[in-house]
Amino acid sequence: MAVAGGGLAGLATAHALLSLGLALDRDVRVRVWDPAGAGGAGASRAAAGLLHPLTPRGTVAFRGPEGMAATRALLASASAALGRPCYADVPVARLALGDDLKRDAKLKTLGGSGEGREWWPADRLHAAGGAGAGAGAESCEGALVVPGAAVDMAAYLEGLSLACARDFAQSSYALERAPLPSQAALCSDGYDAVVYCTGASAIGLPGFPFTLTPSPGVNVVFGPAEGAGPLPSSLALIAGKYVVPVGGGAALAGALQVPRDADGRAFAPLLDHLGAGCPARECPVAVDARAAADALLDATSLGRIYPPLAGAVPVEARAGVRASSPPGPGGRLLPTAGRLLGGGDDSSPVARWALVGLGARGLLYHALAAAHLAEALLADDSDLIPPEFAHALGQE
């Protein structure tokens, strides 16, 4: 099997194929191709690393609990391969900010309604690390809190590739620091199938009967100001924007929407770069940390959910492009997994599959979707993929 892309989707697919091959006692061999290596580029490298099962409304995402369990299993494998944890368990707090009183009241009622969701009033948020309330205390009533994790993305992706190399029979896994070869070359090298896991680079590839929607984003790591203490770091905060503790007294912050500058343009340095023809595979784009921080703080009122950021020092900024699948029934946002028909050389014996469109919830769904894809691919039966992951391919 050839896998194009060494991000969350590609490495989870490689691991799932190898695991299932082992369970079925089949000789499965996987080669992952990515010019940037494992997790060296793409949205996966730019991601904030926040894992939780909540929707923006505070409900639990469809198949979220299964997604959490599948991801946690891969996090454990990657940590074992690395010999150190590549994530930290953190409570994730969906703040009730008073912007939408009806929704905030609803968040309160969801506390105690399962999946570990709890309602924390403002004073408990303060006590847990000063987060959330702060200067916005008058309008932050509290938060719906769930168990989640802050993942060190670079370490996780490296660990996942190491786990593929170490946990299975020798030479059943290889990582090539190169673009995927042509289908003709794969065919002459004896590959049975190729899985496209190329993130936003899949946009425009032949054979995709649906459109992926790109959405650029930027994250900034803030460290404490000189002479100041570490940023309080016991909770991750979300409310359209997010603040994630990343250890060492630092915090990572970003927003789901690209911030606008004073002229109403979307965050200019990032979009200029992307507009200049930056292929998505070259992301994450390292952008000026001060400029990114100013844009974020000005445009998203991040300081309102985490006042210490105003005095903190921007250390590093990364930008990347999320690619989302079309919404499914009920507006569900899930990745797309399945077999591609047409668009390639259909006479080629190399079957074409894809796992793309992970959107803003890559960590929640990559392991679960990859497990479904591996099962279908090894059985050569795309019907084994649940319809919610295949609707965009017309394979429900």
Ligand X SMILES: Cc1cc2nc3c(=O)[nH]c(=O)nc-3n(C[C@H](O)[C@H](O)[C@H](O)COP(=O)(O)OP(=O)(O)OC[C@H]3O[C@@H](n4cnc5c(N)ncnc54)[C@H](O)[C@@H]3O)c2cc1C
Using CB under 6 A, list all residues that contact ligand X: 4-10, 33-36, 41-44, 46-50, 179-180, 197-201, 217-219, 254, 281, 320-322, 356, 358-364
Complex with ligand X: residue 255 or 351, whichever CB lies closer: 255
Shortest reach from residue 97's CB to ligand X, in Å: 20
Q: For residues 273 and 218, give the distance between their C-alpha atoms in angstroms, rounded to a whole number.
A: 13
> Sign (positive/negative) of CA torsion 378, 384, 386, 387?
positive
Q: How far is CA 277 from the centre of its chain?
A: 23
Complex with ligand X: residue 137 or 278, whichever CB lies closer: 278
Complex with ligand X: residue 121 or 207, whichever CB lies closer: 207
Q: For residues 107 and 56, give the distance between their C-alpha atoms in angstroms, rounded to a whole number.
A: 10
Complex with ligand X: residue 36 or 187, whichever CB lies closer: 36
* Alpha carbon distance, N-terminus to C-terminus of the chain: 25
Shortest reach from residue 50's CB to ligand X, in Å: 4
Complex with ligand X: residue 137 or 187, whichever CB lies closer: 187
Which ranges of 83-111 does DSSP label H, i.e. alpha helix? 101-110
CB hemisphere CA count around 355 (13 angstroms)? 32
Shortest reach from residue 322's CB to ligand X, in Å: 4
Q: For residues 361 and 373, give the distance between their C-alpha atoms in angstroms, rounded to a whole number.
A: 17
Q: How far is CA 5 from the centre of its chain?
A: 14
Complex with ligand X: residue 36 or 278, whichever CB lies closer: 36
Complex with ligand X: residue 4 or 312, whichever CB lies closer: 4
Strands of 206-298, DSSP E? 213-223, 236-238, 241-247, 250-255, 285-286
Q: For residues 373 and 211, give the distance between their C-alpha atoms in angstroms, rounded to a whole number.
A: 20
Shortest reach from residue 356's CB to ligand X, in Å: 6
Cβ atoms of residues 229 and 309 within 8 Å: no
- How would you class 262 by CB atoms within 10 Å of its CB: exposed for 0-12, middle for 13-18, buried for 19 or more? exposed
Complex with ligand X: residue 272 or 383, whichever CB lies closer: 272
Q: For residues 372 and 66, give the distance between their C-alpha atoms in angstroms, rounded to a whole number.
A: 12
Shortest reach from residue 127's CB to ligand X, in Å: 25
Rg (alpha carbons) of the chain, rounded to whole number: 21
* Three-state secondary structure call for residue 207: coil
Shortest reach from residue 211's CB to ligand X, in Å: 16
Shortest reach from residue 132's CB to ligand X, in Å: 18
Q: For residues 322 and 319, give the distance between their C-alpha atoms in angstroms, rounded to a whole number.
A: 10
Residues facing residue 318 across a β-bridge: 219, 286
Shortest reach from residue 293's CB to ligand X, in Å: 14
Shortest reach from residue 152's CB to ligand X, in Å: 12
Amino acid at 119: W
Complex with ligand X: residue 50 or 140, whichever CB lies closer: 50
Complex with ligand X: residue 122 or 280, whichever CB lies closer: 280
Amino acid at 168: F
Q: What is the residue whose two structure tokens read 């930027």?
A: 218
Q: For residues 191 and 3, give the distance between their C-alpha atoms in angstroms, rounded to a whole number.
A: 10
Shortest reach from residue 252's CB to ligand X, in Å: 9
